[in-house]
Every structure is written in structure tokens, then in C-alpha cells.
Amino acid sequence: MLDRLKSSTGARTPAIDLHDLVTELFPINRSLTGAGVRQTLAVVARHVDLAIHEVPSGTPILDWHVPAEWNIRRATISDMAGRRLVDFADHNLHVMGYSRPVQAVLSRAELAKHIHTLPEQPDLIPYRTGYYADDWGFCLPDRLWREMTDDSYRVDIDSDLTQGALTYGELFVPGLTSREVLITCHVCHPSLANDNLSGIAVMTALAMRQARQTRRLGYRFLFLPATIGALAWLDRNQSHLDRVEHGLVLTCLGDPSEFHYKQSRKSAPIDRAVAHVLKHSGHSHEILPFSPYGYDERQFCSPGFDLPVGCLMRGVHGTFPEYHTSADNLDFVRPECLDQSYAVIEQVLDLLDRDYVYERVDGRGEPQLGRRGLYRAIAGQREAGGATQMDLLWVLNLADGKHSLLDMAIRADVPFARIEAAARLALDASLIRPAASPGSASGDTGRSEAP
Amino acid sequence: MLDRLKSSTGARTPAIDLHDLVTELFPINRSLTGAGVRQTLAVVARHVDLAIHEVPSGTPILDWHVPAEWNIRRATISDMAGRRLVDFADHNLHVMGYSRPVQAVLSRAELAKHIHTLPEQPDLIPYRTGYYADDWGFCLPDRLWREMTDDSYRVDIDSDLTQGALTYGELFVPGLTSREVLITCHVCHPSLANDNLSGIAVMTALAMRQARQTRRLGYRFLFLPATIGALAWLDRNQSHLDRVEHGLVLTCLGDPSEFHYKQSRKSAPIDRAVAHVLKHSGHSHEILPFSPYGYDERQFCSPGFDLPVGCLMRGVHGTFPEYHTSADNLDFVRPECLDQSYAVIEQVLDLLDRDYVYERVDGRGEPQLGRRGLYRAIAGQREAGGATQMDLLWVLNLADGKHSLLDMAIRADVPFARIEAAARLALDASLIRPAASPGSASGDTGRSEAP
Amino acid sequence: MLDRLKSSTGARTPAIDLHDLVTELFPINRSLTGAGVRQTLAVVARHVDLAIHEVPSGTPILDWHVPAEWNIRRATISDMAGRRLVDFADHNLHVMGYSRPVQAVLSRAELAKHIHTLPEQPDLIPYRTGYYADDWGFCLPDRLWREMTDDSYRVDIDSDLTQGALTYGELFVPGLTSREVLITCHVCHPSLANDNLSGIAVMTALAMRQARQTRRLGYRFLFLPATIGALAWLDRNQSHLDRVEHGLVLTCLGDPSEFHYKQSRKSAPIDRAVAHVLKHSGHSHEILPFSPYGYDERQFCSPGFDLPVGCLMRGVHGTFPEYHTSADNLDFVRPECLDQSYAVIEQVLDLLDRDYVYERVDGRGEPQLGRRGLYRAIAGQREAGGATQMDLLWVLNLADGKHSLLDMAIRADVPFARIEAAARLALDASLIRPAASPGSASGDTGRSEAP
């Protein structure tokens, strides 16, 4: 514990430029399956040692089947004079995901059944998919659609739905123990920057960072097509889900909204950890209760699995005007917001890794701090924002084999890092030691296996 | 479960005119015992198949004995010229309950010891009883008493206190299981319309309604003289009180006050059920903590029994100016208030009966709703105020054998009926089933036996 | 129980003049060890039968050793002309506690290293100690120090640090049961009136009072040098600490601040008892959560002991300007504040002693109060602020072997004394009896052994 505790310093800066990575990934046409997901994972794999999994179309996955693989090359609406009015080449949101191929001339009325617009945001292209709909469609600005007043149009979608595969990426960074932290993001949205290229970029940088360090817990990073990708991973890993001690779904981390943390279904230590870090982060934030709608926490927290998985966001799906439109673009996502999100999550991961239970070597009464030079040690840390004498007294009082460092930080109402610094002083002075059998008595925080 | 769940529709309208029933019962001179109680129960028995119990005077009942039976034929105060100034024939509140017979000429000063008035409500007759007092008394408007300035008056009470019986009525509507809901009201007040002819009328209509339906729980309706009647029933039924899963005392349900629900002594599922129904009823209401004063919940919640019994009222005893006076008359009780009270309690009873625990047939991950036509089913219900997609997701997420439908409705913060409609969709789609052994793990709601 | 319950009346007035006792103790130069502590305990021993314990210097005490005994006869700073500028004889705060002997002429700069002043309170002498520092020092008003502009001064401290003892006083008033209440104060501060002569005086009067009465619980009063004294007592009494059912550290009880009660570490019945008494005392007050800094509750609540000990104060250490200065003098401590503090704690002790669990002799249903004359009994008490009918109903309802009288008082939201009076009526009427096996079921209050 001592050595690793000492590795906790260092600036919380991502190893790569997050906005650059978002920019690189932006043009790729992702969907639930197909070439776009593979290209995206290939970019991520330049940074981390990603395992790519392919699950064949038709494979049964719990209540589902892996759908056909969808790829698209070209999609246009032209007028009868041959002018291209809507072109997938201009923006991949123009085509509804999973559109089947079509080549036809249609009356405006017939075409209208396949057109999606946003009358209240007339300049924006909406994002629509029809994964299981066996349909086709175009998405365009409402203003453009209202200008298209010809009697007939020619539509041309060159796509195919074939027996291929569902693709997802996985990186496991083993820890000193068999306990794991699950971190996931979705990779199935086309050119939408916040939802969820921001999540992919932040998670890539976190994976790079965790891979560089020896840690108590293992870290499993999953780049998943939403729902069916998460279900596929769950289905294939059912026998060792009990290793998952904490989990976090990452999404919409680049916009300037305040942070939002959605709690896990069952009230888990991850909820206390994220709330603690946000509280002391100086960033405004809101804690939301679990609900069975949102991202893949829906699957991880379904009753048969009920994993301790929360979801961290800045803007909340469905509540910001850019959501699922062409306005969720590279301008909407800001470098400093990405970096803030990265730093918050890095702190959460460090906290989870170091949230250990200690016990006093002799817990009867306060020890004599002066004799051990601890008053001097505290004075020496003062400038560096280290532990105060009060922090040390809290650690010595609560190191009873029942309280973790996070329990202490919450009760003392000080940042985890200060309690951790105090614990280091107490460890160095041989006043505390890792608890022999991390407790069952407290009920405050889940306890972790010793390394 | 499925069939009965389907029986839940229908307008919440009483089968009889509640105000008419109150009007019919109003003139009867009820007391703790005697002809008035029997006449009242005979009226109720025209509507439901009531069992009439007679407990002889002198029978030991826990700490008490059944008192002598009181009947009265005539009571007057006349002046010495023979003019009747106060006459029981005009209003049965004029005589203190359990007045012993008296024929005498008394000085005004001697008479005054037997006179009850309300100086702050000088036009109203107070309601007084002296069940165990071996006394007699008259109740009259203070204004009248102050006009009675003669030296002497003649009083004449033609009553008797004889070895008779205490009478109460009971209707048991058996359910598919051995679990019961206890619903009681008191029947010992003379011409007081809200306290408690309103309770008698609403309970009669509820009994008629429950008797018409097959239900999971049994429903036991008790029409009881207060305190001694409740104690008599408890004393005679001690061996099977453990069948009582929920209970509700009904009183003062016809006045236009907001609803008041007084919680049970031990915090029981009935408390959550009534609070939930009131919250979503649109009626203003207040939840009151248990206290050992009030109606027969005092007896049901005494420490030796400690049954899960609450009390539903509109106006609270002792707090409205009409309470226990001649102003608690047929005008004070309003037809629409009686009907509202009936509808609220009917909803509570339906909720209790249907508050079942379900489990997912395969709880691992979200099921594919589209494949099962559930998106269409939800869209079809939308106009009818049925389940939303979110309601269905809540049901699928919380159908884990630990949460009842009420638990789900409270967590989702939507009316029980919407969660129930969602559960019906999920049942029809074979996604959930009644839980094999309704849980012990949750601690949220008491669990019910399966039918 | 009945007899002792009847002894609860009487004015809550201390048997001695508290301010006089503070005044008598004020001039004595107390420190962690030495003659001053012994003189102080000798004064207390004139009032109560105090056992004096001496623990030899060097004795190992948990993580500590008993320090050398410190005594001082004389300490001055003089100018080179021989004028005494600072003299221990004028105020014992002038010398830092545990100053070693010194006789020297020093430059002003060298002397400055040993001078303690309060630049922001330039007229006050600070209180400083250096128990384990092997140093010496003078404390003086900053204004005086700034006037001392000579080049050199002569210092003369005639003290010694010898192999002596640590002294503490103990009074144990046995109860009818083996359970104990621990009440402690610190006796190691020199001429500081509030901190903690107020505590010593109040505790002396409480000890006198408890010693006069037969009580269910034992009462152990400890007059302790802070920290090392408390640790010494804990170390020597480890084998029977499980007898301690409640504990209270008393300090700063004479200033006019509102009351402050600092809760025990583990949330104990003492916390509910003090909060209840303060709530109904009419005095403004604040409840503070436990923290591992303060007085000897730090030791009693350290993880190896974790005793149910709180701390009652008026002004809180470190927050009032007179704290640890010469302004904490006989004017700062007010007779009426001392008396108020005494009365509050006396009520707490009585409550703890009488907070017994009762059960109904026959708990099934309400008993008949009228037959037993209880309505008359209540009416008789009304003028004397005794129990109301509602209080009696609460007692009869909650006398279930699980609720103590304090539980009842808190639930009924009335003063403990009224519930106690109601319990006495119920006892006299043979309606309740002390519970056979005081419950484990409630979780509200800790239960006490029967006498």
C-alpha cells in the first residue's frame, strides 16, 4: 500500500490532446455495426492495447440477436434535373442509421414519409436511426425541406445489410487484486461530438493513464455499441461479473454544462466516491437518482446483473438543444471541458484505488504525536496543502477496521487527498496498518480486497 | 393475477347515494348500546350481508366489562307551568348519553349541575355522554339556558339501564388468500352527520363493492360502538389477528376539509399506500403521525395488538367548530365530499389488493421491446392515460422479486395505476411473473401471500 | 423503581456556592502534575469523599509515559537595574507550563525566543504549556513586551522537574446495578476560571448531590489532568470499561454563552438524553457532531475504547476571545450561568437514572382509566405541571418492553418529567411494570439493567 500511495502525485493532465482526438474521430460514420466502429476502434488502438471483439450477426444475446451489419457508401436526394439537394457525403447525419438500399423516384408526398426534420430548429439536421425497423430515411434541415416543393424527387441509397458482426473494443489493465473497475462508453453514434466522441476521447486518455501504473484494482475499459454491445459483453462475461466492484458509464463530457452524476440502481460506493470528488472539485454539479433510461447503465443495472455502475455526464441527454442534432459538433465540445472531465474521473479512479480500510496498531487512546515528530511533519506539509493535525486526528480516530479513507473524508468533510496524506503520515509512523479483514461492520462503504 | 388485474377498471362511484344513507340514519338515537345501534345496523344490513353480534352486559372484555344497555323513550325539562322548554323528541343531543331515569322538580341551581352548554357557540347543542358515570344530564343551547331564569323546573327522563347487550356488525368478504384487510367505523354517535354517519355510509358502499368482486385479500368490515366495541371484537378474535395485513379506521369523511391520514403506530405498508393514493389524488391532504388519542386505531394499535391500522379522516376530531355539536348536521356533510372519500378509499383497497411482487422471467438486461410490439402497445394506451415507456422500463428494472408495484410507483413517482398498466403489458408479453417467494430482502413494503 | 421515582422532586440547586468554589480554586497554580493539582483535589475532597491516585513519573501509559512532576516556586524577568518587569507571583499564567529552571542574562533577541504574547489582544497574558518540550518561556501582554526595549534582561525561573507522580481524583457512588455513568473534568489548567474551574465546581456539586441519593446507576466522577490523566485512568480500568453505560465530559460551564453539546463518536443514548433535556430547558443551545479534537472525550471515544461519552460546554474552546488568556477570570464566570449548567446536568443524570423500560401488565387494548380514578388523578396534577391524559395514553401505548421513558418523551414531544409523572400514575394503578428483559428490539435507546 505504501508504495502505491506514494504514486498519487502528479498533474491531472491527459496524455493526449482530447479535442484533437474528437476532431480526428468526428468525420467517421459510426453506427451500431460496420466499418465506422472498426475505424474508430483502430484510432483508439493507436493509443492503448485494445482487444477487438467481433460477434457474428445472428448470435443470440440474452433477449436479443446481433443485427445484420450495416454499411453505406452513398445516399442522395436529387431533383429531377439531377441536382443533388441532400448528400450523405456532406454530413453523415443526413441518412437514418440502418437505412436499407433504395433507388427510386417518388412523389414529394411519398418521400415525406421518409423525411425527418426539426421544425423548431429549422437549420439543424436531426440524428435518427432505425436499427430494427427495415426502413430507410433522410434527415435534413426543416428549412431545406420546406424549400423542396417539386412534385417528384429521385432518392438513391447505396447501403447494405449483411451477415457481418458487431464490433467492440476492450482493454483490461490488471490490478494487484482480482477486483475490477468497469468503465464504458458508447461508440455507435456518427458525427456527434459530445455524444459521444467526448466520452471516447476521455476514456482513451484514462485507459492510457491507468495502463502506465501499478494499481490495486483492475481497470476494464469497454468501447461498446450501445445496448446490444453492452448486452453482448455482459452475456459473454456472466461468470465473472462478481469481480466488478465499481463501474462508470462515460458520456457527454465535452460541453460546458455543469457535471451530472446519475447514481447506480442500488446505492453503491461509486456513488459516494463521485459525489465526494465533485463536491471538492470546485465544479458545479448535480447528483441524479437512478432511473432505467439513459445509457448502458440501464443494462449494467438491470435486475439480473444489478452492478454498481453510475453514469457521469456534463449535459444530460435530451435536455440540451444540441442533443442529437448537427449542432453537436466540434464547436460545441470545448478542450477545457474535456480536460476538466478527465481530471475529475482520474481523481475518482485514484480514490477508488486508494480507498482502503486501516486499523490502529494500538487503538486505545490517542498516540503521542510529538514524540514521533508528527507535529513537525504536519507543519512541513502545510504549504503543500497536505494533511492538517485535525485530518491526522480523524484518521487515528476512525482507523478502526470499519471506516475506509473515504468514510473518514466524508465524516471529516475534507478532500480525500488530505485524509490520504494524513494516513501516509500515520503509516510512516507505524500508527496504522491495513485492516486484516476489511470490515463488514460499517455499512458505510464497500470494502476492498487487500493486494 | 392476470384476470384480477384486468378487473381494475370502472368508475369509482358508490353503488348507493351516500348522502341519502346519511339522511336516513340521521334521526336514529344511537349510543354505545341499545335500540339505536340495532336500527342502524338493520339499515346497513339492507345493503350488505351483515352478521350482527350481541355481547351480553357484564361480559368481561379485557380490562373492561360490557356496560348495561341504555334505552330512552322520553326526556323533557318543563317549567312549573308545564311548558316543555327542552325536549329529547326535538333533538336527541338534548340528553346526555346513558342518563339514568329521573323525575323531579329542581331549583335552577340544582338543575345547573346537570346542564351542558357551549357558551362560545351559544346557539348549538353540545354532544355529551356519561357511559360509566351513573349520572343524568341535558345539553342545550347556551342562549336558551340563559333565558331560563325561573326558580324551579321539572325534569323527566324516561330511560332504563338494563342487562342487555352490546351490538356490533361484521361483514367478511373472503379473498383468495388468508390475508385480511380490516376496515372499521364507529356507530355509537346519535344525530351527528359527519362523526360518524359519513363513515358508516362510505363503509357500507365499500363493503357492497368489495363483496361483488373476487379479490386476493379478504376484507373485514366492522361497524363498532367505539372503544368497547373494538375491544370486544379484538378480545373475541385474538387467535387470528395475525391475518390482518392492513387496516383502516374511517371517520368524518363527509365534510369539506382536506384529507387527513393518521399513520399506524408501527409504520406499515398501509401508511405508504394511503399516502401514495392521496399524493396522486389531486386532493389536498396532510399526513399525521400516530398518537394514542382519536378513534379505534387507539385500540388496534395498543401494544398488545399493534396491528397495522391507520385512520382516514377529512376534518380532524376536535379541530372543526361543528365537532360534537348540533351543527354536525346534514348540511355540514356534502354529497361530493362523501363521494370523493369513497373514491380515495376504493383506490387504496384496489392498490392493496394488487400490490404484488413480480420478477422478470429473464432479468438479465433489458428485453427487446420492439420485437414484442410493446412500443405499439404503449402508443395505443397513451390517450387512455396508460403506461408510458418509462413506466414499463421501471417495472422491468424493479421486477426483481423484492419490489412490489407500490415500491415501483413510489420510486418512479408516478400513480400506481400507471405502473400497474405497465405490469399488465409486461405480463401479457411474458416478461414478468408473480414472484415465487415474495421477498424478505427489500424492507420497503410488506409482502403478500400469493393467491 | 417506585420509591426512587418518588425521590425525583426537589429544587435543582447546588449544595454549595459554585462561584465561591471557583474563586477559592482560582489562585492555585495547577499544571499536568505537581502541588497545584494536589491542592485543588484537597479542596474538592472537603466536599466529597475523593480517592486520590498517584501514578509515578515514568509509568508507561498506553502510548505514553507519565512525565516528570513539575513544581515552580518563583519566576521573574528583571531589567539590569533589578526592577521586576514580569513576575509569576503576580499571575501564574506568566510562566509557560513545565518551564525548566533557568538563571541567565539574555539579550532581548535571545529572550524573544522564549516570549509568548497576543499581538491582537495586547493587554492579555496568553496561556501556554510545553509539557514535553524541555524548554522554558514567559507569557506576557504584548503591550508590555513592546515597552521592554532594553538590550539585556535577567531571567530567573526557580522550578524543578523531578521523578514524582501524576495525581488524579476519583469518586465512585455505587448504584443498585453494576452499570455506571462516567463524569469527568480536567484539573490541569492554572488560573483560568471557565476552562476549567467551572467544570470542577459544577462536578463537585453534582458529586455531592449524587452521593446523597440511592440510584439505579453508579456514578463515577473523575478529576483528571487532561489527556495523560484520562489515559492513565483508562489504562488502569480496561477490564471493566464495559460497565460504562453513559459518559459526559464537563468543561467551560460558567460563561454566558449558549449551551453546546458535542455528541459521542458512536451515537449513544447520552446524546439523545442531553439533547432532550436541552430542548425542554428553555436555554438556547446547539448540538455539535463528534470530532476527534477537544477534551478528554477524544480519549474515551478513541477507537480501542469507543465509550458512549459526550461533552457539555457553554462556550466552545478556541471560539471565545477570553479562551486561554488572562481574561478567562473570575468576572468571566457568572454565578447564574454556573447554576444553570448544574441544573441542566442534574436533570440529565436524573433522566439517565430513571430512563427505564416498562411493559403493560396487560397490554391488549386501552385500560379503563375512569374505573381506576386516573382521570381524577390527572386533574389533581394539572396545576403542578404534572402528566396530562395524553401523556398517560402515550405511556400506556408505548409501555411494550421496547420503549424507554425517554423514547416515549421524544415521540410524544413532551418533557421527560411529564412522561415520568404519567408512568408513576400508571405504576400506582398497577397498569405497567418494569420490563422483565429490557428490550433489544427497539434500536431507539440503549436499555438498562434492572436494579
| pLDDT-derived band at C436, boundaries 50, 70, 90 | confident
pLDDT tens for C310-346 read: 999 999 999 999 999 999 999 999 999 999 999 999 9
- Whether the pLDDT of residue A23 is over 80: the answer is yes
Q: Which of A57-71, B327-341, C45-59, C360-374 has the lowest mean pLDDT?
A: C360-374
Annotated domain spans of chain B: 11-66+165-354, 70-162, 357-434
How far is the C-alpha of B292 from the C-alpha of B290, rounded, in Å? 7
- How far is residue B121's CA from residue B143's CA, in Å, rounded to a whole number? 9
DSSP letters along B344-406, please?
HHHHHHHHHHH--EEEESS-SS---TGGGTHHHHHHHHGGGT---HHHHHHHHHHTEEEEEHH
For residues A370-397, average pLDDT: 86
Nearest Cα residue to C69 out of C95, C35, C34: C34
CB atoms A365 and C63 under 8 Å: yes
* Residue A107 dihedral angles phi and psi, to the nearest 5°: -65, 160
Q: What is the pLDDT of residues C32-44, one digit of tens each?
A: 999 999 999 999 9
**Inter-chain touch C304–A370, beta carbons under 8 Å:** no
Mutation to test the C interface, candidates B302, B309, B317, most C Cβ within 10 Å: B302
Query: What pLDDT band is residue A437 in, cutting at 50, 70 and 90?
Result: low
CA distance B123 to B52: 38
- Which CATH architecture group holds C2-66+165-353? 3-Layer(aba) Sandwich (3.40)
pLDDT tens across A139-190, in order? 999 999 999 999 999 999 999 999 999 999 999 999 999 999 999 999 999 9
pLDDT at site C245: 97
Euclidean distance between CA atoms B390 and A450, whole angstroms: 41
For the structural domain made of B11-66+165-354, what CATH number should be given? 3.40.630.10
Using alpha carbons, select from B260, B242, B243 the residue that is nearest to residue B311.
Answer: B260
Q: What is the pLDDT of residue B448?
A: 45
Look at the block and give the residue holding cell 474508430.
A40
- Collapsing DSSP states into helix, strand and coil, what is residue B69? strand
Cβ pair A302:B390 closer than 8 A: no
Place of cell 491542592: C39
Interface touch B363/A304, C-beta < 8 Å: yes
* Per-residue pLDDT at C11: 56
Residues in A whose CB is inside 8 Å of some CB of B read: 62-64, 132, 227, 230-231, 234-235, 238, 265, 291-293, 298-299, 301-306
Q: Is the dihedral of CA C428, C433, C434, C438 positive or negative?
A: negative
Whether the per-residue pLDDT at C448 is higher than 50: the answer is no
CB nearest to C299's CB, from A365, A370, A390: A365
Q: Which of these ranges, A1-5, B80-84, B357-361, C319-323, has the smallest mean pLDDT?
A: A1-5
- Phi and psi of B287, rounded to 5°? -100, 125
CA A251 to chain centre: 5
Grid cell digits, residue B295: 378513534
Q: Mean pLDDT over residues C279-306, rounded?
A: 96
Dump the DSSP string for C251-279. Answer: ---SSSSPEEEEPPTT--HHHHHHHHHHH
Q: What is the mean pLDDT of chain A?
A: 93
The alpha-carbon gap from B364 to the nearest alpha carbon of chain A, in Å, equals: 4
Give the separation between CA C239 and CA C243, rounded to whole angstroms. 9
Q: Using the 8-state DSSP alphabet, how is residue A97 labeled?
A: B
In terms of Cβ atoms closer than 10 Å to its own Cβ (0-12, 13-18, 19+), residue B437 is exposed
Give the closest of C62, C132, C293 to A365, CB-based. Answer: C62
Cβ B368 vs Cβ A64: under 8 Å? yes
Distance, C-alpha B131 to centroid of its chain: 23
Q: What is the mean pLDDT of residues C289-313?
A: 97
Mean pLDDT of C130-148: 95
C287, C263 contact by CB (below 8 A): yes
Q: Helix and strand tally (H, E) in chain A?
A: 14, 19
Q: Above 70 in pLDDT, residue A338?
A: yes
Q: What is the pLDDT of residue B384?
A: 66
Q: Which of A385, A383, A371, A389 is nearest to A425 (CA)?
A: A389
Nearest residue in chain B measured CA to CA from C394: B292
The string over A26-42, giving b where at least 16 C-beta atoms fall within 10 Å of a residue's C-beta and e elsewhere, is: bebbbbbbbbbbbebbe
CATH superfamily ID and name for B70-162: Domain of unknown function DUF2172 (3.50.30.90)
B184 and B230 Cβ atoms separated by less than 8 Å: yes
Higher per-residue confidence, C317 vs C3: C317
pLDDT band at A442 (very low <50, low <70, confident <90, very high): very low
Candidates A151, A165, A213; CA nearest to A68 is A165
Backbone angles phi, psi at C257, to 5 degrees: -65, 165
Angstroms from B293 CA to nearest CA on chain C: 7
List the grid coordinates of B398. Answer: 424493479
Q: Which residues contact B246 (CB under 8 A, 6 or more apart)?
A: B181, B182, B217, B268, B269, B270, B273, B308, B309, B352
CA distance B96 to B84: 18
A93 has pLDDT over 50: yes
Asked whether the predicted pLDDT for residue C444 surpasses 60, the reply is no
Strand pairing category for C180-186 and C218-224? parallel
Q: For cell 438556547, what's the residue?
A: C284
Give the model's confidence band at B449: pLDDT under 50 very low, under 70 low, under 90 confident, else very high: very low
Average pLDDT over residues C377-403: 87
Q: What is the pLDDT of residue A384?
A: 66
Nearest CA-CA distance, residue B303 and chain C, Å? 5
With contact defined as beta carbons under 8 Å apart, do B195 and B327 qualify? no
Cell of A101: 438500399
> What pLDDT is attached to residue A11?
56
Q: What is the DSSP letter of A12?
A: -
Q: How far apart are CA B169 and CA B167, in angstroms?
A: 7
Q: For A140, how many CA atoms within 13 A lie in the half-sphere containing its CB?
A: 21
Alpha carbon distance A412, A401 (integer Å): 17
Rounded to an integer, what distance in angstroms lies between the CA atom of residue B321 and that of residue B418?
40
Q: Does domain C69-162 have CATH number 1.10.3720.10?
A: no
Rounded distance between C-alpha atoms, residue B336 and residue C216, angstroms? 60
SS3 per residue for A326-349? CCCCCCCCCHHHHHHHHHHHHHHH
Per-residue model confidence as pLDDT tens digits over B306-341: 999 999 999 999 999 999 999 999 999 999 999 999
CB contacts, 8 Å: C306 with chain A: 400
What is the pLDDT of chain C when averaged over all its residues? 93
Residue of C nearest to A372 (CA): C63
Interface test with C, best of A366, A389, A400, A408 (most C CBs within 10 A): A366
Q: How far is it, in rounded angstroms, from Cα A289 to Cα A292?
A: 10
pLDDT digits (tens, 9 = 90+) for B149-169: 999 999 999 999 999 999 999
Residues B36-65 have a mean pLDDT of 97
pLDDT exceeds cutoff 70 at C379: yes
Mean pLDDT, residues B205-221 taken together: 95
Q: Residues of A with CB below 8 A from C230's CB?
A: 365
A330 and A322 Cβ atoms separated by less than 8 Å: no
Report the percentage of chain C scoring pLDDT > 90.
Answer: 88
Collapsed DSSP state (helix, strand, coil) of residue A52: strand
DSSP B66: P
- The span from the CA of C82 to the CA of C316, in Å, is 42
Report the alpha-carbon distance of residue C186 to residue C197 in Å, rounded. 9
Tell me the Cα Rg of chain C. Answer: 25
- Residue B213's SS3 state is coil
Confidence of residue C442 (pLDDT cuts 50, 70, 90): very low
Reduced to 3 states, what is the DSSP secondary structure of residue B192?
coil
Q: What is the mean pLDDT of residues C49-70?
A: 97
Bigger pLDDT: A449 vs A331 = A331
Instruction: State the pLDDT at residue A100.
Output: 96
Q: What CATH number labels A70-161?
A: 3.50.30.90
pLDDT score, position B342? 98
- Indicate the DSSP class of residue C97: B
b/e A145-175 (16+ beta carbons within 10 angstroms → b):
beebeeeebbbbbebebeebbbbbbbbebeb
Q: What is the CA radius of gyration of chain A?
A: 25
**C-alpha of A413 from chain center:** 27
User: What's the average model confidence in pLDDT over C281-307?
Assistant: 96
A2-66+165-354 fold? Aminopeptidase (3.40.630)
Q: Which of C360, C390, C412 sits opposite B304 (nearest CB)?
A: C360
Q: Span C293-308, mean pLDDT?
A: 96
Per cent of chain A over pLDDT 90 is: 88
Evaluate if residue B442 carries a pLDDT over 60: no
Supply the mean pLDDT for chain B. Answer: 93
Q: Among 3.40.50.620, 3.40.1350.10, 3.40.50.150, 1.10.10.10, what is the CATH number of C357-434?
A: 1.10.10.10
CB-closest option in C360, C368, C412 to B303 = C360
Which residues of chain C does B237 touch, with a Cβ-Cβ cutoff of 8 Å? none
| Structure confidence at residue B7 as a pLDDT band (50, 70, 90) | very low
> Edge-to-edge strands of the sheet including A432-434?
A400-404, A357-360, A432-434
Helices H, strands E: what count in chain B?
14, 19
Alpha helices in B156-198 (DSSP H): none
- Average pLDDT value for residue range A218-243: 97
Nearest-10 crossing angle of helices A199-211, A35-45: 40
Q: What is the mean pLDDT of residues A438-442?
A: 39
Categorize the per-residue pLDDT at B11 as very low, low, confident or very high, splitting at 50, 70 and 90.
low
How far apart are alpha carbons A28 and C256 in whole angstroms?
73
CB burial of residue A436 (10 Å; 0-12, 13-18, 19+): exposed
The three-point CA angle C108-C113-C115 to 5° equals: 80
SS (H, E, C) A351-375: HHHHCCEEEECCCCCCCCCHHHCHH
Query: In this predicted structure, what is the pLDDT of residue C437?
Result: 58
Minimum distance, in Å, between the CA of residue B131 and any CA atom of chain C: 11
